[in-house]
Amino acid sequence: MKVTVVGAGAVGASCAEYIAMKDFASEVVLVDIKENFAEGKAMDLMQTASLNGFDTKITGSTNDYSKTAGSEVAVITSGIPRKPGMTREELIGINAGIVKEVAGNIIKHSPNAIIIVVSNPMDTMTYLAHKSLGLPKHRIIGMGGALDSARFKYRLAEALGCPQSDIDGMVIGGHSDTGMIPLTRLATRNSVPVSKFISEDRLNEVKEATKVGGATLTKMLGTSAWYAPGAAVASMVHAIATDSKKMFPCSCLLEGEYGLNDIAIGVPAIIGANGIEEIVEIELNDAEMDNLKESAAAVSKTNGLLQA
Ligand code: NAI
Protein backbone atom coordinates (compact mmCIF):
# COMPACT_ATOMS: atom_id res chain seq x y z
CA MET A 1 0.00 0.00 0.00
CA LYS A 2 1.17 3.52 -0.86
CA VAL A 3 0.39 6.18 1.74
CA THR A 4 0.80 9.94 1.40
CA VAL A 5 1.23 12.15 4.44
CA VAL A 6 0.95 15.86 3.71
CA GLY A 7 2.68 17.99 6.34
CA ALA A 8 6.04 16.59 7.39
CA GLY A 9 5.93 18.42 10.73
CA ALA A 10 5.68 16.88 14.17
CA VAL A 11 2.48 14.86 13.65
CA GLY A 12 3.13 13.95 9.99
CA ALA A 13 6.63 12.62 10.66
CA SER A 14 5.50 10.74 13.77
CA CYS A 15 2.68 9.17 11.77
CA ALA A 16 5.12 8.16 8.99
CA GLU A 17 7.43 6.65 11.59
CA TYR A 18 4.69 4.54 13.22
CA ILE A 19 3.41 3.39 9.83
CA ALA A 20 6.94 2.29 8.90
CA MET A 21 7.44 0.58 12.27
CA LYS A 22 4.29 -1.48 11.70
CA ASP A 23 5.83 -2.51 8.36
CA PHE A 24 2.63 -2.98 6.35
CA ALA A 25 2.97 -0.21 3.74
CA SER A 26 5.22 -0.45 0.69
CA GLU A 27 5.75 3.31 0.53
CA VAL A 28 5.08 6.46 2.54
CA VAL A 29 5.43 9.77 0.69
CA LEU A 30 5.87 12.80 2.92
CA VAL A 31 4.94 16.16 1.36
CA ASP A 32 5.64 19.59 2.78
CA ILE A 33 5.62 23.13 1.48
CA LYS A 34 8.94 23.94 3.20
CA GLU A 35 11.83 23.42 0.79
CA ASN A 36 13.67 20.13 1.42
CA PHE A 37 11.91 19.58 4.75
CA ALA A 38 9.96 16.44 3.78
CA GLU A 39 12.99 15.08 1.95
CA GLY A 40 15.09 15.59 5.09
CA LYS A 41 12.53 13.94 7.39
CA ALA A 42 12.22 11.03 4.95
CA MET A 43 15.99 10.56 4.79
CA ASP A 44 16.30 10.68 8.59
CA LEU A 45 13.50 8.12 8.96
CA MET A 46 14.97 5.87 6.25
CA GLN A 47 18.21 5.79 8.22
CA THR A 48 16.28 4.06 11.03
CA ALA A 49 15.12 1.19 8.76
CA SER A 50 18.05 -1.15 9.44
CA LEU A 51 17.89 -0.30 13.15
CA ASN A 52 14.15 -0.73 13.51
CA GLY A 53 13.73 -3.54 11.00
CA PHE A 54 11.22 -2.22 8.48
CA ASP A 55 11.08 -2.39 4.69
CA THR A 56 8.66 0.49 4.06
CA LYS A 57 10.22 3.01 1.70
CA ILE A 58 9.83 6.61 2.93
CA THR A 59 10.33 9.42 0.43
CA GLY A 60 9.90 13.18 0.64
CA SER A 61 8.71 15.87 -1.73
CA THR A 62 8.52 19.65 -1.64
CA ASN A 63 4.95 20.13 -2.82
CA ASP A 64 5.35 17.88 -5.88
CA TYR A 65 2.16 15.87 -5.80
CA SER A 66 3.11 13.79 -8.84
CA LYS A 67 5.21 11.79 -6.35
CA THR A 68 2.03 10.93 -4.43
CA ALA A 69 0.23 9.48 -7.48
CA GLY A 70 -1.69 6.28 -6.87
CA SER A 71 -1.79 6.55 -3.08
CA GLU A 72 -4.48 4.43 -1.48
CA VAL A 73 -4.54 6.48 1.72
CA ALA A 74 -3.64 10.14 2.21
CA VAL A 75 -3.28 11.85 5.57
CA ILE A 76 -3.61 15.64 5.93
CA THR A 77 -1.55 17.04 8.81
CA SER A 78 -0.52 20.27 7.08
CA GLY A 79 -1.27 23.55 8.80
CA ILE A 80 -0.40 25.29 12.00
CA PRO A 81 -0.73 23.71 15.45
CA ARG A 82 -1.96 25.64 18.48
CA LYS A 83 0.27 27.42 20.95
CA PRO A 84 -0.38 27.35 24.73
CA GLY A 85 -3.66 29.05 25.60
CA MET A 86 -5.13 28.79 22.10
CA THR A 87 -8.20 26.76 21.15
CA ARG A 88 -8.18 24.49 18.11
CA GLU A 89 -10.95 26.64 16.63
CA GLU A 90 -8.62 29.65 16.45
CA LEU A 91 -6.58 27.86 13.76
CA ILE A 92 -9.41 27.90 11.22
CA GLY A 93 -8.35 31.09 9.43
CA ILE A 94 -5.03 29.67 8.24
CA ASN A 95 -5.76 25.95 8.16
CA ALA A 96 -8.99 26.05 6.10
CA GLY A 97 -7.16 27.39 3.03
CA ILE A 98 -4.33 24.88 3.45
CA VAL A 99 -6.61 21.87 3.91
CA LYS A 100 -8.79 22.78 0.92
CA GLU A 101 -5.78 23.19 -1.37
CA VAL A 102 -4.01 20.06 -0.12
CA ALA A 103 -7.16 17.91 -0.39
CA GLY A 104 -7.63 19.03 -4.00
CA ASN A 105 -4.00 18.22 -4.87
CA ILE A 106 -4.24 14.78 -3.29
CA ILE A 107 -7.35 13.77 -5.23
CA LYS A 108 -5.95 15.10 -8.52
CA HIS A 109 -3.13 12.57 -8.31
CA SER A 110 -4.78 9.80 -6.30
CA PRO A 111 -8.45 9.86 -7.32
CA ASN A 112 -9.26 6.72 -5.32
CA ALA A 113 -7.52 7.66 -2.09
CA ILE A 114 -9.16 7.44 1.30
CA ILE A 115 -8.40 10.68 3.13
CA ILE A 116 -7.71 11.01 6.85
CA VAL A 117 -7.96 14.60 8.09
CA VAL A 118 -5.88 15.56 11.13
CA SER A 119 -5.39 19.35 10.85
CA ASN A 120 -7.37 21.39 13.37
CA PRO A 121 -10.09 22.35 13.97
CA MET A 122 -10.36 18.76 12.82
CA ASP A 123 -14.15 18.23 12.64
CA THR A 124 -14.55 21.42 10.63
CA MET A 125 -11.58 20.56 8.41
CA THR A 126 -13.15 17.14 7.78
CA TYR A 127 -16.44 18.81 6.88
CA LEU A 128 -14.56 21.18 4.57
CA ALA A 129 -12.84 18.26 2.82
CA HIS A 130 -16.26 16.63 2.29
CA LYS A 131 -17.78 19.82 0.92
CA SER A 132 -14.89 20.73 -1.35
CA LEU A 133 -14.20 17.25 -2.77
CA GLY A 134 -17.72 15.78 -2.84
CA LEU A 135 -16.37 12.23 -2.47
CA PRO A 136 -18.51 9.37 -1.17
CA LYS A 137 -18.75 9.97 2.56
CA HIS A 138 -16.98 6.75 3.54
CA ARG A 139 -13.75 8.02 1.95
CA ILE A 140 -13.10 11.00 4.22
CA ILE A 141 -12.41 10.32 7.91
CA GLY A 142 -11.38 12.75 10.63
CA MET A 143 -8.89 11.59 13.27
CA GLY A 144 -9.66 12.83 16.77
CA GLY A 145 -11.58 10.22 18.74
CA ALA A 146 -8.84 7.59 18.36
CA LEU A 147 -6.42 9.96 20.08
CA ASP A 148 -8.89 11.24 22.67
CA SER A 149 -9.86 7.66 23.55
CA ALA A 150 -6.20 6.70 23.97
CA ARG A 151 -5.81 9.64 26.35
CA PHE A 152 -8.97 8.55 28.19
CA LYS A 153 -7.58 5.02 28.61
CA TYR A 154 -4.28 6.43 29.86
CA ARG A 155 -6.08 8.52 32.49
CA LEU A 156 -8.36 5.65 33.51
CA ALA A 157 -5.47 3.19 33.88
CA GLU A 158 -3.62 5.78 35.97
CA ALA A 159 -6.64 6.29 38.24
CA LEU A 160 -7.30 2.55 38.62
CA GLY A 161 -3.62 1.66 38.97
CA CYS A 162 -3.90 -0.99 36.25
CA PRO A 163 -2.32 -1.59 32.84
CA GLN A 164 -3.85 0.30 29.91
CA SER A 165 -4.43 -3.04 28.17
CA ASP A 166 -7.05 -3.82 30.82
CA ILE A 167 -9.05 -0.73 29.91
CA ASP A 168 -11.68 -0.23 27.25
CA GLY A 169 -13.20 3.20 26.73
CA MET A 170 -14.26 5.65 24.10
CA VAL A 171 -14.53 9.40 23.57
CA ILE A 172 -17.12 10.66 21.10
CA GLY A 173 -18.24 14.16 20.09
CA GLY A 174 -16.27 17.09 18.74
CA HIS A 175 -12.48 17.12 18.99
CA SER A 176 -12.33 20.19 21.24
CA ASP A 177 -11.70 20.90 24.92
CA THR A 178 -15.40 21.43 25.57
CA GLY A 179 -16.88 19.15 22.89
CA MET A 180 -15.31 15.81 23.83
CA ILE A 181 -17.56 13.27 25.53
CA PRO A 182 -15.59 10.59 27.40
CA LEU A 183 -18.17 7.82 27.86
CA THR A 184 -17.40 7.01 31.50
CA ARG A 185 -20.59 4.94 31.86
CA LEU A 186 -19.41 2.48 29.22
CA ALA A 187 -15.71 2.34 30.17
CA THR A 188 -14.59 -1.02 31.53
CA ARG A 189 -11.67 -2.83 33.09
CA ASN A 190 -11.79 -6.33 31.63
CA SER A 191 -15.54 -5.98 31.06
CA VAL A 192 -16.22 -4.68 34.60
CA PRO A 193 -17.53 -1.07 34.69
CA VAL A 194 -14.75 1.25 35.91
CA SER A 195 -17.18 2.76 38.44
CA LYS A 196 -16.67 -0.47 40.45
CA PHE A 197 -13.06 0.60 41.12
CA ILE A 198 -13.09 4.38 41.55
CA SER A 199 -15.41 6.98 43.03
CA GLU A 200 -17.69 9.16 40.94
CA ASP A 201 -15.56 12.20 41.85
CA ARG A 202 -12.38 10.50 40.65
CA LEU A 203 -14.15 9.42 37.45
CA ASN A 204 -15.20 13.03 36.86
CA GLU A 205 -11.58 14.11 37.32
CA VAL A 206 -10.53 11.55 34.71
CA LYS A 207 -13.20 12.88 32.36
CA GLU A 208 -12.05 16.48 32.76
CA ALA A 209 -8.33 15.57 32.41
CA THR A 210 -9.18 13.70 29.20
CA LYS A 211 -11.02 16.66 27.71
CA VAL A 212 -8.10 19.01 28.27
CA GLY A 213 -5.53 16.33 27.41
CA GLY A 214 -4.32 18.19 24.34
CA ALA A 215 -4.22 21.58 26.08
CA THR A 216 -2.26 20.11 29.01
CA LEU A 217 0.42 18.83 26.65
CA THR A 218 0.46 22.04 24.60
CA LYS A 219 1.21 23.94 27.80
CA MET A 220 4.04 21.54 28.68
CA LEU A 221 5.54 21.29 25.19
CA GLY A 222 4.95 24.81 23.88
CA THR A 223 3.21 23.26 20.86
CA SER A 224 0.72 20.45 20.43
CA ALA A 225 1.58 16.80 20.94
CA TRP A 226 2.76 14.45 18.18
CA TYR A 227 3.56 10.91 19.42
CA ALA A 228 0.03 9.85 20.36
CA PRO A 229 -1.55 11.74 17.42
CA GLY A 230 0.91 10.03 15.02
CA ALA A 231 0.23 6.63 16.57
CA ALA A 232 -3.54 7.16 16.37
CA VAL A 233 -3.36 7.99 12.66
CA ALA A 234 -1.04 5.04 11.97
CA SER A 235 -3.53 2.69 13.68
CA MET A 236 -6.30 3.95 11.42
CA VAL A 237 -4.15 3.61 8.28
CA HIS A 238 -3.27 0.07 9.41
CA ALA A 239 -6.99 -0.78 9.80
CA ILE A 240 -7.61 0.40 6.23
CA ALA A 241 -4.55 -1.43 4.83
CA THR A 242 -5.43 -4.72 6.50
CA ASP A 243 -9.21 -4.30 6.14
CA SER A 244 -9.30 -5.14 9.84
CA LYS A 245 -12.77 -3.66 10.55
CA LYS A 246 -11.44 -2.22 13.80
CA MET A 247 -13.77 0.23 15.50
CA PHE A 248 -12.54 3.75 16.24
CA PRO A 249 -14.48 6.82 17.21
CA CYS A 250 -13.73 9.20 14.33
CA SER A 251 -15.18 12.21 12.63
CA CYS A 252 -17.75 11.01 10.09
CA LEU A 253 -20.15 12.98 7.93
CA LEU A 254 -23.55 12.26 9.44
CA GLU A 255 -26.78 11.97 7.51
CA GLY A 256 -29.33 11.33 10.21
CA GLU A 257 -27.23 9.10 12.47
CA TYR A 258 -27.62 10.16 16.11
CA GLY A 259 -30.28 12.58 14.83
CA LEU A 260 -27.57 14.78 13.29
CA ASN A 261 -27.24 16.01 9.73
CA ASP A 262 -24.71 17.85 7.58
CA ILE A 263 -21.96 17.72 10.18
CA ALA A 264 -18.75 15.75 10.70
CA ILE A 265 -18.28 14.78 14.35
CA GLY A 266 -16.79 11.94 16.37
CA VAL A 267 -18.89 8.77 16.51
CA PRO A 268 -17.90 5.09 16.59
CA ALA A 269 -17.15 3.71 13.14
CA ILE A 270 -15.84 0.46 11.72
CA ILE A 271 -12.75 1.10 9.61
CA GLY A 272 -11.70 -1.19 6.78
CA ALA A 273 -10.54 -1.23 3.16
CA ASN A 274 -13.32 1.15 2.10
CA GLY A 275 -12.56 3.67 4.85
CA ILE A 276 -15.69 4.01 6.96
CA GLU A 277 -17.40 0.64 6.58
CA GLU A 278 -20.18 1.43 9.01
CA ILE A 279 -21.17 4.13 11.46
CA VAL A 280 -22.15 2.40 14.68
CA GLU A 281 -25.11 3.89 16.50
CA ILE A 282 -24.75 3.01 20.17
CA GLU A 283 -27.48 3.66 22.68
CA LEU A 284 -26.72 6.84 24.59
CA ASN A 285 -28.57 7.92 27.72
CA ASP A 286 -30.31 11.30 27.84
CA ALA A 287 -27.35 13.15 29.37
CA GLU A 288 -24.91 11.73 26.80
CA MET A 289 -27.29 12.55 23.96
CA ASP A 290 -27.66 16.12 25.27
CA ASN A 291 -23.87 16.40 25.42
CA LEU A 292 -23.58 15.18 21.83
CA LYS A 293 -26.19 17.70 20.65
CA GLU A 294 -24.34 20.52 22.45
CA SER A 295 -21.03 19.38 21.01
CA ALA A 296 -22.57 19.25 17.52
CA ALA A 297 -23.97 22.77 17.93
CA ALA A 298 -20.45 24.04 18.72
CA VAL A 299 -18.95 22.24 15.70
CA SER A 300 -21.71 23.67 13.47
CA LYS A 301 -20.91 27.14 14.76
CA THR A 302 -17.24 26.65 13.77
CA ASN A 303 -18.35 25.24 10.40
CA GLY A 304 -20.28 28.47 9.91
CA LEU A 305 -16.98 30.38 10.00
CA LEU A 306 -15.98 28.62 6.76
CA GLN A 307 -18.41 30.70 4.77
CA ALA A 308 -17.40 33.92 6.52
P1 NAI B 1 3.82 21.33 12.51
O2 NAI B 1 3.90 22.81 12.41
O3 NAI B 1 4.90 20.58 13.20
O4 NAI B 1 3.68 20.71 11.04
C5 NAI B 1 2.81 21.21 10.08
C6 NAI B 1 3.53 21.14 8.74
O7 NAI B 1 2.61 21.51 7.70
C8 NAI B 1 4.73 22.10 8.63
O9 NAI B 1 5.91 21.37 8.36
C10 NAI B 1 4.35 23.03 7.47
O11 NAI B 1 5.45 23.42 6.68
C12 NAI B 1 3.38 22.15 6.70
N13 NAI B 1 2.52 22.90 5.80
C14 NAI B 1 1.92 24.09 5.99
N15 NAI B 1 1.21 24.44 4.89
C16 NAI B 1 1.37 23.45 4.00
C17 NAI B 1 0.88 23.23 2.69
N18 NAI B 1 0.07 24.11 2.07
N19 NAI B 1 1.24 22.11 2.06
C20 NAI B 1 2.05 21.20 2.65
N21 NAI B 1 2.55 21.35 3.89
C22 NAI B 1 2.20 22.47 4.56
O23 NAI B 1 2.40 21.00 13.17
P24 NAI B 1 1.94 19.62 13.84
O25 NAI B 1 2.22 19.66 15.29
O26 NAI B 1 2.45 18.49 13.03
O27 NAI B 1 0.35 19.72 13.69
C28 NAI B 1 -0.24 19.65 12.41
C29 NAI B 1 -1.75 19.87 12.50
O30 NAI B 1 -2.34 18.76 13.15
C31 NAI B 1 -2.15 21.10 13.32
O32 NAI B 1 -3.25 21.74 12.71
C33 NAI B 1 -2.55 20.51 14.66
O34 NAI B 1 -3.45 21.35 15.36
C35 NAI B 1 -3.19 19.23 14.19
N36 NAI B 1 -3.30 18.19 15.21
C37 NAI B 1 -4.45 17.45 15.21
C38 NAI B 1 -4.62 16.42 16.10
C39 NAI B 1 -5.88 15.62 16.05
O40 NAI B 1 -6.12 14.82 16.96
N41 NAI B 1 -6.72 15.77 15.03
C42 NAI B 1 -3.59 16.09 17.10
C43 NAI B 1 -2.40 16.90 16.99
C44 NAI B 1 -2.27 17.92 16.07
pLDDT in tens, 121-147: 999 999 999 999 999 999 999 999 999
Residue 233 pLDDT greater than 60, yes or no: yes
Residue 245: per-residue pLDDT: 98
Band (195; pLDDT cuts 50, 70, 90): very high
Residues labelled catalytic:
175
- Ligand 1 pocket test target in 31, 61, 118 with most atoms within 8 Å of CB: 118
Report CA(7)–ligand 1 centroid distance (Å).
6
Residue 130: per-residue pLDDT: 98
Please, what is the average pLDDT of the chain? 97
What whole-number percentage of the chain has pLDDT above 70?
Answer: 99
- Say yes or no: CB of residue 38 within 6 Å of ligand 1: no
DSSP 72: S
Residue 151: per-residue pLDDT: 98
- CA distance linking residue 213 with residue 34, whole number of Å: 29
Average pLDDT of 187-212?
98
DSSP 54: -
The residue contributing the CA closest to ligand 1 atom 1 is 9
Average pLDDT of 146-174?
98
DSSP 167: E
The model's pLDDT over 265-301, given as tens digits with 9 standing for 90+, comes to 999 999 999 999 999 999 999 999 999 999 999 999 9
- CA distance linking residue 241 with residue 231, whole number of Å: 15
ipTM above 0.95, yes or no: yes
Sequence-distant (≥ 6) Cβ neighbours of residue 199 within 8 angstroms: none
Of the CA atoms within 13 Å of residue 187, those in its CB half-sphere come to 33
- Say yes or no: CB of residue 126 within 6 Å of ligand 1: no
Residue 89: per-residue pLDDT: 87
Q: Is the CB of residue 5 less than 8 Å from the CB of residue 12?
A: yes
Report CA(115)–ligand 1 centroid distance (Å).
15
| Sign of the torsion formed by the C-alpha atoms of 280, 282, 287 and 288 | negative
Residue 116 pLDDT greater than 90, yes or no: yes
Read off φ and ψ for residue 184, nearest 5 degrees.
Answer: -65, -35
Q: Is the CB of residue 2 less than 8 Å from the CB of residue 221?
A: no
- CA distance linking residue 46 with residue 167, whole number of Å: 34
Residue 308 pLDDT greater than 90, yes or no: no
- CA distance linking residue 303 with residue 92, whole number of Å: 9
Residue 307 pLDDT greater than 80, yes or no: no
